Amino acid sequence: MTLHEFINYLVVPILSIAVLLIMYRFIKGPSIVDRVIALDLIITTGIGFIAAYSILTNRPSFLDVSMILALIAFLGTVAFSYYIQKRNK
Amino acid sequence: MSEIFVAIFSLSGAIFILLAAIGLIRMPDAYLRISVTTKAATLGIGLLLIAAAIHFKDFSITSRVLAIILFILLTAPISGHLIGRASYFSGVKLWKDSIMDDMAGKYSKATQELKSENVEKLKKIKKEKSETKLIKKDPAK
């Protein structure tokens, strides 16, 4: 079993199952806070996907995208929490 | 040899992310969900990125990976704290079996004021109240 097969058949499917489970909470989530957490975790899992994909295709330039995604996840969570707090005034 | 390390690190990172996803579904409360996602997902992402750094064996890529991991380690607790604060203030209820609530009674929803934030203001109000009580008591004597 080569490394490519290992990542293709084990790592990426596990990450896909994780995204599906998070999507369930994102759709069902009783409050808006749960949805914000699920969105944050989906973007964080996307960073993991990009890391696995850069190993798979031997292209390290994908890692730049993961840095931008980490920034966007943080900014999105901060903005959502700001507006959730403002909404109650 | 390095392929084995890449396989071990990437698999354990993926498993930690899967555990974070399972915890997000199984946990009964928004606050417990926040605590699960910030810890397990951060560890999983760090392990996956370390696997990428081992695979490429390049100084520029390793420094990039370290920068991403440092950024995630810095921002995950901050975003978790912010969203937890916002959810407490917007009235998300705790789990029915939760034992402690340190913020109970310290936050007024009408004025959006925390007691710990305005200790001096509250002391002034208390002083004024006690003074008015003394004034009221004096004529009675």
One digit per residue, pLDDT tens: chain B, 141 residues?
889 999 999 999 999 999 999 999 998 888 899 998 899 999 999 999 999 999 998 999 999 999 999 999 999 999 999 999 888 888 788 888 888 777 777 777 666 677 766 566 666 776 777 777 666 655 555
3-state secondary structure of B26: helix
When divided into structural domains, chain A yields a total of 1
CA angle B28, B35, B16 (to 5 degrees): 100
ipTM: 0.91
Distance, in Å, from the CA atom of B75 to the CA atom of B78, rounded to the nearest integer, reads 5
Nearest-by-Cβ selection for B55 from A44, A55, A89: A55
pLDDT for B116 equals 65
Distance, in Å, from the CA atom of B29 to the CA atom of B27, rounded to the nearest integer, reads 6
CA angle A17, B23, B39 (to 5 degrees): 105
A37 and B44 within 8 Å at the Cβ level: the answer is: no
Chains A, B: CB contacts within 8 A come to 164
Overall average pLDDT of the A50-57 stretch: 92
Overall average pLDDT of the A70-89 stretch: 88
Overall average pLDDT of the A56-66 stretch: 91
Q: How far is B95 from chain A (nearest CA, A)?
A: 13
pLDDT for B128 equals 75
pLDDT for A56 equals 92
Residue A14: give the domain boundaries: 3-87
More confident residue, A14 or B101: A14
Distance, in Å, from the CA atom of A72 to the CA atom of A81, rounded to the nearest integer, reads 14
The DSSP result for A4-66, as a single string, is HHHIIIIIHHHHHHHHHHHHHHHHH-SSHHHHHHHHHHHHHHHHHHHHHHHHHHT-TTHHHHH
Residues facing B114 on adjacent strands? B107
Structure tokens at B105: 């009674």
Nearest-by-Cβ selection for B87 from A19, A33, A73: A33
Tally of residues, chain B: 141
Closest residue in B to A18 (Cα) is B18
If you ran DSSP here, which 8-state letter would residue B96 be given?
T
Q: Which amino acid is at A41?
A: L
A22 and B24 within 8 Å at the Cβ level: the answer is: yes
Percent of chain A topping pLDDT 90: 74
- Please, which pLDDT band fits residue A88 given cuts at 50, 70 and 90? low
Q: Which amino acid is at A27?
A: I
pLDDT for B98 equals 80
All residues at 6 or more sequence positions from B40 whose CB lies less than 8 Å from its CB, including other chains: B16, B17, B19, B20, B23
Give per-residue pLDDT as tens, B9-37: 999 999 999 999 999 999 888 889 999 88
pLDDT for B74 equals 93
- Please, which pLDDT band fits residue A40 given cuts at 50, 70 and 90? very high
Residues 31-70 in A contacting B (C-alpha not used; CB under 8 Å): 31, 33-34, 36-38, 40-41, 44-45, 47-48, 51-52, 54-55, 60, 63-64, 66-67, 70
- End-to-end CA distance of chain A, in Å? 58
